[in-house]
Amino acid sequence: MLRGSCLCQGVAFEIEGTVIDLLYCHCSMCRKAHGSAFRARGKVKASEFRWVRGEALVRYFESSPGQHRSFCSVCGSSLITRFDEKPRILGLALGVLDDDPLNRPVCHVHVGSKAPWHEITDALPRFDGHATVPLTPEDAK
Ligand SMILES: [Zn+2]
Ligand SMILES: [Zn+2]
């Protein structure tokens, strides 16, 4: 069981499973959504995710067609992302986790649009756009 919550603690959630496909995304939308150099995100199964409290505070923003980023309407914390084309999977902003997901980020994506003031200093693979290698086999999702 993994727990997560927003900055104001109004929203909390639980994940009855593992977080997969952890990575760092440097695209401009992720940078703006998080107000930071990049987004650290993973994916969870929608069937294993549940809101513990504050679901009524959660708002969704469709940042790309069919991609709905959620955030706490009180404090602005980024939470999950829903995908119309992949309803069984949710994106998860790793920074709102209160527990250690145990898995670790495996690469950087959209490095081609990273912030000019940010330097990547680790040795993880970097992709200018999407990752060109599968992170987790599709049948394991
Ligand atoms: Zn909040
Ligand atoms: Zn991104």
Grouping H, G, I as helix, E, B as strand and the rest as coil, residue 53 is strand
pLDDT at residue 135 above 60? yes
pLDDT bucket at 15, cuts 50 / 70 / 90: very high
| CA-closest candidate to residue 18, choices 56, 39, 47 | 47
Ligand closest to 113 (CA) is: 2
Q: Model confidence over 49-75: pLDDT tens digits? A: 999 999 999 999 999 999 999 999 999
Q: Which residues place a Cβ less than 5 A from the ion ligand 1?
A: 6, 8, 10, 72, 74-75
Average pLDDT over all residues of the chain: 95
CA of 85 to the centre of ligand 2 (A): 17
Confidence of residue 137 (pLDDT cuts 50, 70, 90): low
Question: How many whole angstroms from 78 Cα to the centroid of ligand 1?
Answer: 9
Neighbours of 4 (CB within 10 A): 25
99 C-alpha vs ligand 2 centroid, how far in Å?
23
pTM: 0.92
Burial (CB count <10 Å: 0-12, 13-18, 19+), residue 85: exposed
- Which element (helix H / strand E) includes 34? helix 28-34
User: Which position has the token pair 């991609």?
Assistant: 67
Q: What percent of the chain has pLDDT over 70?
A: 96
